[in-house]
Structure 1
């Protein structure tokens, strides 16, 4: 399955989202790293154009940034990539646990590895919501809550199509 097919199905088809639990883990991780790359490039672009005022917070940091010169940019890119990777994988793992609880409440047969894959593919819309709301300063405080609710909603809609537990 191609990435654009995964993307479109993750946006609007909960039944396929549930079926993606059977995808190979390598394909799911590639899909997640595609978003990590996009997120990192956007964040790095904002850093380059001065949206982040990290170095203006301290005179010592300003001096240090002048000392290392152009090396600041590759270091910042790698650091943003590592932090973004950590953030997204922790987020997927935590929502995988929440999805496991949702599956238990809905009496659906689910293993953590299946819910994790569903959570990884269903992170598409919450990350898009985060990227859009990040552009509006008034919504930045609520973007995490809104994206979390959307993520849980997508996981719940997908878990509805998991097989029922036999009694």
Structure 2
């Protein structure tokens, strides 16, 4: 199943293959979001999670090609892109690495239908569906429900930027 993605000008997720998917993640480590399209000067935050969706703090980040204004705090990296181009963000933790692809666009605004970000499912899982959250004071904008043939389903809470906030495994009713 393709990764889920959020499109500019749309308030809901869709599933499809309009943009190339990020590289297949290494088992045990993911970058959230997995891919992003940003405007020059638009800040974006990324975080790394382990194979169970827990955020990692002890992460080394690198960006190829290098880009100014990288800020790392508590395992999360924030980019302040100053020039257009295509970049690969790599997170390394516990002898594993994972990547996210980033496209920086030098326009005043993104065209309608532009994929803002996409998210790979956790290793061993597939995305079942994604739903928008109820508007409120919470940072949660979307919930992604993922399932596996060999484990209970997982719910991931996501910010509007595609960055994962938390995850929980659903219990079985068997």
TM range (shorter): under 0.3
TM-score by length of 1: 0.25
Of structures 1 and 2, the larger Rg is shown by: 1
Higher strand share: 2
Higher relative contact order (CA 8 A, sep 6+): 1
